[in-house]
Amino acid sequence: MFVEGTLRWQVTEDCPWDLLMALCLRELGGLVDVDAPEIPPITPPARRVRRAAGGGSIASAPVVIDHTVLADQWMTWWSQIVQRDLRPLITGLRPPHFAEFDRLIALQDLIIDNYDAAVAWTAARHDEYVRTSLEQHAKRAADIVDVVRDREHELRRQAGYFRLDIAVLPLAEPGAWIVGPNSVVLSQSMRDDSAAFREWFRPIVEALV
Residue 52 has pLDDT above 50, yes or no: no
What is the SS3 assignment for 185? strand
Q: Which residues contact 189 (CB under 8 A, 6 or more apart)?
A: 171, 174
For residues 166 and 122, give the distance between their C-alpha atoms in angstroms, rounded to a whole number.
18
The number of domains in the chain is 2
Mean of the pLDDT values across residues 104-128? 96
Chosen domain end from 78, 104, 125: 125
Mean of the pLDDT values across residues 83-108? 90
Lowest mean pLDDT among 4-8, 113-117, 154-158, 172-176: 4-8
For residues 69 and 200, give the distance between their C-alpha atoms in angstroms, rounded to a whole number.
36
Same domain, 26 and 8: no
For residues 142 and 138, give the distance between their C-alpha atoms in angstroms, rounded to a whole number.
6
Q: What is the CATH number of the domain that holds 158?
A: 3.30.2010
Same domain, 92 and 156: no
Q: Which residues contact 47 (CB under 8 A, 6 or more apart)?
A: 59, 60, 61, 62, 117, 121
Mean of the pLDDT values across residues 168-193? 96
| 130 assigned to some structural domain | no
Which domain, by its residues, includes 67? 17-125
Confidence of residue 35 (pLDDT cuts 50, 70, 90): low
Residue 38 has pLDDT above 90, yes or no: no
Same domain, 28 and 110: yes
Same domain, 22 and 116: yes
- List pLDDT tens digits, range 130-149: 999 999 999 999 999 999 99
Distance of CA 209 to CAs 6, 86, 158, 166, Å? 13, 24, 8, 17
Same domain, 102 and 148: no
Q: Which residues contact 93 (CB under 8 A, 6 or more apart)?
A: 18, 21, 111, 115
Chosen domain end from 125, 157, 174: 125
